[in-house]
Amino acid sequence: MTEKPNFFDNVTLQAILGDLGHVVALERWGPKISQRVIWRAPIHERKIALTFDDGPHPVYTPKILEVLERFKVPATFFLIGKHVQNNLTLARETVQAGHEVGNHTFTHRRLWRLTDINMFDEIKRTDEVLRNLNGVAPRFLRPPMGAFSKRVLNNVESVGYKTVIGNVYPRDSHLPSKEKILSRVLNRIIKGSIIILHDGGNTNHVDRSRTIWAAERFIPELQERGFEFVTLSDLLGHI
């Protein structure tokens, strides 16, 4: 399908809308802004994907993995390349536990601000690191901060990736209350949803305890509602 031209073709979503508008756009306007970005799966089954950004983190990723194991839930982790290099054993444990990994660039820089050469470097260095984990080529990339432009999408697609954002973003990286994270997920979930959470950060000095608390509660609640958690590849099929 040919993407319809729109006002956002040559600028980034984040640059226009700012932080709060960015969140609104993710959940309400995403498909209207760009049909080349995956916001959710167009399915009728009660399947959803849980995703985590910015890891691996030496403290919080193991705790997230324990929660996922407890509830028998697979997830997709969008990993920062430099963090993988610094936590290689943990990254391998994530893959060995049956979870999927995606590309979140090497140093978490805003891609739309980079030259093409530097943008490709961010993507390809991480791609190599991720392939070395289990020999599998990652399919999906999530741009840092969810910010993209037409040029970013062109470059991402040229190296074989699909750009994924999501449609349920409780803003856990902005440190709302744990109850707010929980309610935002539970109130916004629909069939085919992609949930955006964080198990790490651009540095190790982050607190993801609220995210863990919320995940321990919304996972069983959504399972009771009949939702099945799957990886992005399982959710999206051959998209």
Q: What is the pLDDT of residues 62-86, one digit of tens each?
A: 999 999 999 999 999 999 999 999 9
Does 53 participate in catalysis according to the annotation? yes
CATH of 13-236, one of 3.20.20.370, 3.40.50.740, 3.40.50.1240, 3.30.2350.10: 3.20.20.370
Would you say residue 169 has pLDDT above 60?
yes
Predicted local distance difference test score (pLDDT) of residue 28: 64
Cα distance from N-terminal residue to C-terminal residue, the chain: 12
Of the candidates 22, 53, 54, 99, the residue annotated as catalytic is 53
d(CA 31, CA 13): 12
Q: What is the pLDDT of residues 174-227, one digit of tens each?
A: 999 999 999 999 999 999 999 999 999 987 789 999 999 999 999 999 999 999
Does 198 participate in catalysis according to the annotation? yes
* 67: amino acid identity, one letter: V
The pLDDT mean for the chain works out to 90
3-state percent breakdown (helix, strand, coil) of the chain, nearest 5: 50, 15, 40
Predicted local distance difference test score (pLDDT) of residue 90: 98
Q: What is the pLDDT of residues 26-40, one digit of tens each?
A: 566 667 778 899 999
d(CA 101, CA 78): 6
Predicted local distance difference test score (pLDDT) of residue 27: 62
The enclosing H or E element of 129 equals: helix 116-134
Output the CA–CA distances (angstroms, integers) from residue 224 to 194, 215, 217, 218, in the order listed.
18, 14, 11, 10
The enclosing H or E element of 239 equals: none
Quick one: average pLDDT of 119-148? 96
Q: What is the pLDDT of residues 81-121, one digit of tens each?
A: 999 999 999 999 999 999 999 999 999 999 999 999 999 99
Of the candidates 83, 99, 108, 198, the residue annotated as catalytic is 198
Predicted local distance difference test score (pLDDT) of residue 20: 38
